[in-house]
Amino acid sequence: MGFPKSVVAGIVVALLRLSDAAVYKVGDAGGWTSIGNLDYKQWATTKTFQLGDIIHFEYNAQFHNVMRVTHSMYKACNASAPLATYATGNDTINITAKGHHYFICGVPGHCQSGQKVDINVLRESETAATPSGMSPASASIPSAGGPVSSPSGAISLKGSSKGSLTNLCLAMAASAVFVSVFP
């Protein structure tokens, strides 16, 4: 057997690309709401948003909406001239630019009570400034002298879902190469 190298390379590239996009549901299980004092700032700080990621807003469209606004409108909870408005209750927004993406609920009073979120895709300079202790990669370093095998992959699954997906894809890509090069 043995696949042509180009096919193997294609599989590897496809797997790596697949691992790039993540879907983030705003507020996680709580969703997009003005009740329950959900802290969307806290929610966002636990994520590392990247280009190609998809931001998912899920809410009851009878009571809420999603407006993309400028920084000053975000700060002032000013919903008078949104850049974009979403109102299906199940909205997905592709992140295709770096920097801040500000969203508020345009229903009066909701932004003021905290229904606002800042999705920030770090620029390279900011990424480099991230403290090294925060690196998710540190979770998947195998124990001293141990072979890099499936157990370490299983352990890394406990890390951030995004990091583990990347690790999983890398492992799959590595085994695809292995299988085709050594039949």
Ligand X SMILES: *[C@@H]1O[C@H](CO)[C@@H](O)[C@H](O)[C@H]1NC(C)=O
The least CB distance from residue 101 to ligand X, in Å, is: 14
Closest approach of ligand X to the CB of residue 77, in Å: 9
Which range in 43-51, 74-82, 105-113, 173-181 contacts ligand X by CB under 6 A?
Answer: 74-82
- Near ligand X in 82-121, by CB under 6 A: 90, 94
Interface residue with ligand X, options 11, 12, 44, 76 (CB under 6 A):
76
The answer to whether residues 64 and 34 touch, using CB atoms and an 8 Å cutoff, is yes
> Taking a C-beta distance cutoff of 8 angstroms, is the pair 120, 49 a contact?
yes
Q: Is 128 in the site for ligand X (CB under 6 A)?
A: no
Closest among 21, 19, 26 to 42, alpha carbons compared: 26
Pick the piece of the chain touching ligand X (CB under 6 A) from 71-79, 107-115, 135-143, 171-179: 71-79
79: three-class secondary structure by DSSP:
coil
d(Cα 37, Cα 71) in Å, to the nearest integer? 22
Q: Which is nearer to ligand X, 51 or 141 (CB)?
A: 51
- Token pair belonging to 86: 């979403």
Q: What is the DSSP string of 105-155?
A: --STTTTTTT-EEEEEE--HHHHHTS-GGG-GGGGGPPPTT----HHHHHH
Closest separation between CB of residue 18 and ligand X, Å? Answer: 10
Least Cβ distance, residue 52 to ligand X (angstroms): 7
Contact set with ligand X (CB under 6 A):
21, 54, 58, 73, 76, 78, 80-81, 90, 94
